[in-house]
Amino acid sequence: MTKAETTFWQLLKRRFGASCWLNEPLWRHTAYRVGGPADAFIKPATLQDLQEVIHWCYREGVPFQVLGKGANVLVHDRGYRGVILSLETCCGDIRRKGRVLTVGAGVPVQKLVAYCEERGLAGLQFMSGIPGTVGGALMMNAGAFGGEIGDRVLWVEALNRQGRRRRISREQAGFGYRRATGLRGLVLLGCRLHLEEGSPDQLRQQRQAIVLRREKNQPLDYPSCGSVFKRPPGEYAGRLIERAGGKGLRVGGAMVSPKHANFILNVAGATARDIFHLIVTVQQRVYRQTGVWLAPEVKFIGFSEQELQQLEKPENGTTSEG
């Protein structure tokens, strides 16, 4: 850190006080339980505070990134040089008008599922058991069992990199399979969702059935980020990995789950390096044996361009990138 940068971090700490942590270890905030420190981790108390941090970062050229519950990220062991933002406090509300909800990006998805269930609002049961926040779910267009959050979105509210507020329609958001091209680079504040009428009892039964199905098919005993790779057209990443003999492969404390081959688990104090190397190993192994280049679903934080190049598709590879 240069002298000028030191001043920036100190000023940040002075301004945001108890909502700002310097050199905060990110393993505390990721589902993998790995990741080095962020220069600063800030949980803005209000939208104005959030805008102010973004404005400061923009002015000083300091990188920043939002983290939800870290359920779909791999953070480098070196950590992140810049500011990590958590929107749990400043964007943590759910408001209802009939069957329409306005939901903050920091709301945990399971809180939203429970809210809907209690009030007999149907349409989001497929999200039962998906960890993360609404912001992360929008960014990833999270889904399961044929449903995706994008199907329920009327609009998304966001800030651009300069901190200016924007409203983005569902069409503009560009929802696709595990992506939302029109939201890239934005800080999502929340969204409006339209739901259907349902019975709380039925919704509860549906949620329980989905959670049971997840427990049966997914290795939930160890830290992971869920599916590591996207589904290739007409195939399943897990099936290709299994066929390529990937189940049970290990690098350090990271292992390909013997239960579900598209899950890489932190079974014994893995580092981000272990997990990254295992991702590369699996990707290359599947490519050699099937010609399919699996595109990662997981997002990488703090990795250099050079490191990420190892994950790029070779010239002639078929890819699972949609």
List residues near ligand FAD by CB under 6 A. Answer: 31, 65-73, 87, 105, 130-133, 135-137, 139-140, 142-144, 187-188, 220, 224-226, 299
- Closer to ligand FAD at the Cβ: 226 or 246? 226
Q: How far is the CB of 179 from ligand FAD (least distance, A)?
A: 11
Q: Which of 24, 231, 297, 320 is labelled catalytic?
A: 297
- Closer to ligand FAD at the Cβ: 69 or 76? 69
Q: How far is the CB of 313 from ligand FAD (least distance, A)?
A: 20
Rounded Cα gap, residues 203 and 91, in angstroms: 26
Our CA angle for 293, 68, 14, nearest 5°, is 130
- Closer to ligand FAD at the Cβ: 289 or 300? 300
Our CA angle for 107, 109, 113, nearest 5°, is 115
Known catalytic membership, residue 304: no
Phi-psi region of 292 (alpha: psi -120 to 50; beta: other; left: phi over 0): beta
Q: How far is the CB of 8 from ligand FAD (least distance, A)?
A: 21
With beta carbons less than 8 A apart as the criterion, state whether 91 and 190 touch: yes
- Closer to ligand FAD at the Cβ: 66 or 256? 66
- Closer to ligand FAD at the Cβ: 120 or 219? 219
Known catalytic membership, residue 24: no
Closest CB to ligand FAD: residue number: 68
DSSP annotation string for 241-254 = HHHTT-TT-EETTE
Q: Which of 93, 32, 29, 101 is nearest to 66 (CA)?
A: 29
Known catalytic membership, residue 192: no
Q: How far is the CB of 67 from ligand FAD (least distance, A)?
A: 5
Q: How far is the CB of 288 from ligand FAD (least distance, A)?
A: 27
H or E element at residue 265 = strand 264-266
Q: Which of 19, 128, 224, 227 is labelled catalytic?
A: 227
Q: Which of 178, 179, 207, 231 is labelled catalytic?
A: 178
H-type alpha helices, the chain:
3-16, 47-60, 109-119, 134-140, 170-173, 200-217, 237-243, 272-290, 305-309
- 243-251: long-range pairs with CB below 8 Å, 24+: 243/289, 243/290, 244/282, 244/285, 244/286, 244/288, 244/289, 244/290, 245/285, 246/282, 246/285, 246/286, 249/278, 249/281, 249/282, 249/285, 250/278, 251/275, 251/277, 251/278, 251/281
Q: Residue 251 corresponds to which tokens in the numbers above?
A: 């690098």
Q: How far is the CB of 297 from ligand FAD (least distance, A)?
A: 7
- Closer to ligand FAD at the Cβ: 31 or 173? 31
Q: Which residues are catalytic?
A: 178, 227, 297
